[in-house]
Protein backbone atom coordinates (compact mmCIF):
# COMPACT_ATOMS: atom_id res chain seq x y z
CA UNK A 1 0.00 0.00 0.00
CA UNK A 2 1.66 3.20 -1.20
CA UNK A 3 0.63 6.64 -0.01
CA UNK A 4 1.52 9.85 -1.81
CA UNK A 5 1.90 12.69 0.65
CA UNK A 6 1.63 16.23 -0.71
CA UNK A 7 2.35 19.20 1.50
CA UNK A 8 4.40 22.33 0.96
CA UNK A 9 5.47 22.34 4.60
CA UNK A 10 8.64 20.38 5.24
CA UNK A 11 7.78 19.88 8.91
CA UNK A 12 4.46 18.30 8.07
CA UNK A 13 5.98 16.01 5.46
CA UNK A 14 8.55 14.74 7.92
CA UNK A 15 6.21 13.94 10.75
CA UNK A 16 3.45 12.59 8.52
CA UNK A 17 5.87 10.37 6.64
CA UNK A 18 7.24 9.07 9.90
CA UNK A 19 3.76 8.20 11.08
CA UNK A 20 2.72 6.58 7.79
CA UNK A 21 5.85 4.48 7.57
CA UNK A 22 6.76 3.63 11.13
CA UNK A 23 3.26 3.28 12.55
CA UNK A 24 1.14 2.47 9.52
CA UNK A 25 3.71 0.41 7.62
CA UNK A 26 2.72 2.20 4.45
CA UNK A 27 5.11 2.83 1.64
CA UNK A 28 5.31 6.53 0.96
CA UNK A 29 6.32 8.99 -1.68
CA UNK A 30 6.23 12.73 -1.18
CA UNK A 31 5.72 15.94 -3.11
CA UNK A 32 5.91 19.52 -1.97
CA UNK A 33 3.11 20.93 -4.11
CA UNK A 34 0.14 20.08 -6.29
CA UNK A 35 2.03 20.17 -9.59
CA UNK A 36 4.87 18.02 -8.34
CA UNK A 37 2.24 15.78 -6.76
CA UNK A 38 0.64 15.16 -10.16
CA UNK A 39 3.99 14.15 -11.62
CA UNK A 40 4.81 11.82 -8.78
CA UNK A 41 1.33 10.32 -8.87
CA UNK A 42 1.89 9.49 -12.54
CA UNK A 43 5.33 8.04 -11.89
CA UNK A 44 4.58 6.10 -8.72
CA UNK A 45 0.93 5.12 -9.04
CA UNK A 46 0.05 5.47 -5.34
CA UNK A 47 -2.91 3.70 -3.76
CA UNK A 48 -3.90 6.76 -1.79
CA UNK A 49 -3.13 10.48 -1.77
CA UNK A 50 -2.95 12.46 1.46
CA UNK A 51 -2.63 16.16 0.80
CA UNK A 52 -2.67 19.59 2.31
CA UNK A 53 -5.49 21.88 1.28
CA UNK A 54 -3.59 25.17 1.23
CA UNK A 55 -0.61 25.04 -1.11
CA UNK A 56 0.93 27.89 -3.10
CA UNK A 57 1.09 26.48 -6.62
CA UNK A 58 -1.95 24.29 -6.93
CA UNK A 59 -4.15 23.84 -3.90
CA UNK A 60 -5.78 20.64 -2.72
CA UNK A 61 -9.05 21.07 -4.57
CA UNK A 62 -7.21 22.06 -7.74
CA UNK A 63 -5.01 18.99 -7.52
CA UNK A 64 -8.02 16.78 -6.91
CA UNK A 65 -9.74 18.19 -10.02
CA UNK A 66 -6.59 17.50 -12.10
CA UNK A 67 -6.39 13.97 -10.76
CA UNK A 68 -9.99 13.33 -11.72
CA UNK A 69 -9.33 14.56 -15.25
CA UNK A 70 -6.60 11.95 -15.76
CA UNK A 71 -8.21 8.53 -16.35
CA UNK A 72 -5.12 6.75 -14.99
CA UNK A 73 -5.31 8.65 -11.72
CA UNK A 74 -9.02 9.36 -11.36
CA UNK A 75 -9.65 6.34 -9.17
CA UNK A 76 -7.08 7.12 -6.46
CA UNK A 77 -8.78 7.95 -3.16
CA UNK A 78 -7.84 11.35 -1.71
CA UNK A 79 -7.76 12.58 1.88
CA UNK A 80 -7.30 16.26 2.67
CA UNK A 81 -5.44 17.73 5.60
CA UNK A 82 -6.42 21.19 6.74
CA UNK A 83 -6.17 23.44 9.75
CA UNK A 84 -9.56 24.96 9.07
CA UNK A 85 -12.27 22.47 9.73
CA UNK A 86 -15.69 24.03 9.43
CA UNK A 87 -18.66 21.86 8.67
CA UNK A 88 -19.46 23.72 5.46
CA UNK A 89 -15.88 23.39 4.23
CA UNK A 90 -15.73 19.69 4.99
CA UNK A 91 -18.92 19.11 3.12
CA UNK A 92 -17.49 21.02 0.20
CA UNK A 93 -14.33 18.87 0.21
CA UNK A 94 -16.28 15.64 0.48
CA UNK A 95 -18.64 16.56 -2.30
CA UNK A 96 -15.59 17.38 -4.43
CA UNK A 97 -14.69 13.70 -4.08
CA UNK A 98 -12.34 13.41 -1.09
CA UNK A 99 -12.95 10.35 1.05
CA UNK A 100 -12.12 12.20 4.26
CA UNK A 101 -10.63 15.23 5.93
CA UNK A 102 -8.01 15.13 8.65
CA UNK A 103 -7.60 18.09 10.91
CA UNK A 104 -4.25 19.74 11.48
CA UNK A 105 -2.51 19.51 13.80
CA UNK A 106 -2.76 15.73 13.73
CA UNK A 107 -1.41 13.34 16.31
CA UNK A 108 1.50 11.53 14.62
CA UNK A 109 0.79 8.46 16.68
CA UNK A 110 -2.70 8.07 15.24
CA UNK A 111 -2.41 9.66 11.80
CA UNK A 112 -1.67 6.38 10.04
CA UNK A 113 -4.58 4.71 11.82
CA UNK A 114 -6.93 7.51 10.81
CA UNK A 115 -5.82 7.18 7.22
CA UNK A 116 -6.41 3.45 7.27
CA UNK A 117 -9.84 3.81 8.84
CA UNK A 118 -10.90 6.44 6.31
CA UNK A 119 -9.72 4.19 3.54
CA UNK A 120 -11.56 1.17 4.92
CA UNK A 121 -14.72 3.22 5.45
CA UNK A 122 -14.53 4.43 1.86
CA UNK A 123 -14.04 0.91 0.54
CA UNK A 124 -17.02 -0.17 2.56
Partner 1 sequence: MSTVLLVDSDADVRALLRSALEQQGYSVIEAAGFAEAVEELARAPIDLLVVDGGQSDGSSLEFLAQFRGSFPSTPIVLLSSFFQDLRSFRQLTDELSVSRVVYKPIEAASFAASLTWLLEANPRSQASDPQGPSQAPAPPPPDDEFEAMLALLSDEFAGRLPARLAEIEAHVQAGESERLAEAQMLAHKLRGSAGSYGFGLVGSALGVVEDLISESLERGGTLEGFTAALSEARSAALAGPRTTRQALIGTESTLAARVPTRALLVVDDDPDFLELVRAAGENLLVDVVTADSTEAALELAARRPLLAAILDVHLKRRHSFSLADRLRETPGNEGISIAFTSVDRRITTRLAASEAGASRFFEKPVCAENFAEQVQQFLSTSRSSPARVLVVDDDEDILSLYTHTLRSAGFQVSTLTAAVTLVDQLEKLSPDLLLLDINLPGISGVDVCRALRMSERWEFLPVILISADTTPETRLRAFRSGASDLIQKPVLSEELLARIRMQVERSRLLRERADRDALSGLMLRRPFLQSVGRALALSLREGRPLALVLIDLDDFKAINDTHGHLAGDDVISRFGDLLRRRFRPQDLRGRWGGEEFVLAFPGRGVEVALATTKRILEEFRALRFKGKEGSFGATFTAGVACFPESGDSINDLLRRADELLYKGKESGKNKVLGEDSIFSQVAKGEGL
The residue (of 72 and 121) whose beta carbon lies closer to partner 1 is 121
The CB-of-71 to partner 1 minimum distance in angstroms stands at 26
The residue (of 46 and 100) whose beta carbon lies closer to partner 1 is 100
**How many C-alpha atoms does 55 have within 13 Å on its Cβ side?**
28
Question: Which residues in this chain contact partner 1 in the complex, by CB under 8 A?
Answer: 9, 11-12, 14-19, 21-23, 25, 54, 79, 81-83, 85, 90, 94, 99-111, 114, 117-118, 121-122
Strand segments (E) across the chain: 2-6, 27-31, 48-52, 78-82, 100-103
Residue 106's CB is within 10 A of a number of other CB atoms, namely 17
Specify the 3-state DSSP secondary structure of 82: strand
The residue (of 76 and 122) whose beta carbon lies closer to partner 1 is 122
Amino acid sequence: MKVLLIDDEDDIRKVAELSLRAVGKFETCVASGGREGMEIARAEGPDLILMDMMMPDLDGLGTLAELRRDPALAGIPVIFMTAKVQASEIEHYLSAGAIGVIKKPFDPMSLAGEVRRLLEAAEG
